[in-house]
Structure 1
């Protein structure tokens, strides 16, 4: 979840730098950082994975560049207007990381007080955006984490359920599909079927369909978004499958967001889901293979890299 880290110096220069060329050769692994952790100037809002947050994100970005206090003020103005709650019904607010009382567990503090400790960096920037994009999912994750802490306390390991909840929070995408064969292809590591043979079934970025859409991906995990500042071939999300009606793909984007938020939060709130929740609850999804997300994947040979698009086996 929220680890200690270094904030960005106030007064950083606004503007976009380091934008990624989707046609350029792509590193297979995550590159070494060339900018300070938490550099807000490095967000390319034209990328599909960031575009879902663009309207609010650009405004927050400018506040963050003005300084830590201005940034928290902007987040809290939105939180006050939205009247959202955390896991135990407390009004959502954002506080400086150093205001988290010493010895307090991060998730337990959020559930008990409504206050999300937030650093002046990209990781927590994307975490805050997730609270507004999918408020019910975030609240449910927080409630489940806090309940697990109540039972087990905070130890050297989280335990299987908390690990899975953390994995969802940090690295999940929501794979919404109305098509059973597409879902089976994802779960079965059948990348050629998923990305090439059934390419016309994918929703294009920005809501412009490639064909008769039967699936789409929405990024949830804030650590995943941070990694996508500098995309690399092997960047892999943990996909949470959401079966949706075919009519879903005719709905406006805002209506789809509400549907996903409500459906997934209900799934995570169910005791049966929690009892079975572990790393195998997700399907690996190399995100740069998603049609429309990376120019190089227009060539079918892009998917021939077996170090990224692995055969995989679902065995214990």
Structure 2
């Protein structure tokens, strides 16, 4: 059996931004599906969350999704998010509260793609990129272009060893993808996210967590709404390499594992 609600370890540093609400939802989920949905909907009403098309957000049981209906289109048209009683949808719901503008922008663009192209056997490049973002994205907030370049160029020693002190002062990682969060309930070294680089001002790192999340939420949602998107816009980031996130990475030898910290793609001559 896979991990369940009782297995969430809120001491994990990547869960800190969502811990207070997450603990409440966890207790409700352990009580039952009805109690869990009630907790989500109570919070949604209080927060006045809306979709990208302005529909008030609500959470419903998966069985209430009409037969043949598209998940993304249903949310856009009704505001109702089909939600199963599992960790995958638990973290999906938490991201609607942590980054409501990003989630709304992703859903609006997914729905627009479905409106334009319909539901086919393949999603297409834009929908693939949107789904990848929703499921596996890491928001890499960065005030130093050299660090972003190191990430893009697979410069792991520069990013994690030479510039280790930059984490928390010039760059940070914020988990967004709900499938990635689900995987990290049972962490393993090779767990890798798709990093989306977010340029932030230097004073970003003087802000508290709420203000940082709001800034990232606004900046990223604007880009999702306006920019061309494809899967090549992401950079791989082995998340347990983030300083402070895993005890073993205090040793530089941790990063010598080339099956995880790969040297990058060779350019063909």
Cα separation, 2, equivalents of 1:225 and 1:122: 9
5+ residue gaps in structure 2? Answer: none
Superposed CA deviations along residues 3-42 of structure 1, whole A, max 9, x for unmatched, are xxxxxxxxxxxxxxxxxxxxxxxxxxxxxxxx346x1001
Aligned to 1:302: 254
Supply the RMSD in Å over aligned alpha carbons.
1.1
Aligned to 1:7: none
Superposed CA deviations along residues 72-119 of structure 1, whole A, max 9, x for unmatched, are 000000000011111211000000000000010000000000000000
Decide which structure has greater helix share. Answer: 2
Query: Aligned with 2:194: secondary structure?
Result: strand
2:118 is the alignment partner of 1:153: yes
Aligned to 1:22: none
Aligned to 1:281: 233
Range with greater deviation from structure 2 (74-83 or 47-56): 47-56
Aligned to 1:125: 90
Q: State the shift of 1:229 in Å.
A: 1.0
206, 210, 216: which one pairs with 1:254?
210
2:241 is the alignment partner of 1:292: no
Query: Does structure 2 conserve the Cα–Cα contact (< 8 Å) formed by 1:172 and 1:221?
Result: yes
Cα separation, 2, equivalents of 1:315 and 1:124: 39
228, 238, 241: which one pairs with 2:197?
241
Q: State the shift of 1:230 in Å.
A: 1.1
Query: Aligned with 2:27: secondary structure?
Result: helix
Cα separation, 2, equivalents of 1:125 and 1:103: 23
Q: State the shift of 1:233 in Å.
A: 1.2
Q: State the shift of 1:52 in Å.
A: 1.6
Q: State the shift of 1:156 in Å.
A: 1.3
Give the TM-score normalised by structure 2. Answer: 0.98
Query: Aligned with 1:101: secondary structure?
Result: coil
5+ residue gaps in structure 1? Answer: 1-34, 204-212
Moved over 4 A (4+): none
Alpha carbons of structure 1 residues 282 and 156: separation in structure 2 relative to 1, 3 Å? same
Cα separation, 2, equivalents of 1:91 and 1:314: 48
Aligned to 2:59: 94
In the TM superposition, 1:1-316 aligns within 5 A as 35-36=1-2, 39-203=4-168, 213-270=169-226, 273-274=227-228, 277-313=229-265
Cα separation, 1, equivalents of 2:12 and 2:267: 35
Give the TM-score normalised by structure 1. Answer: 0.83
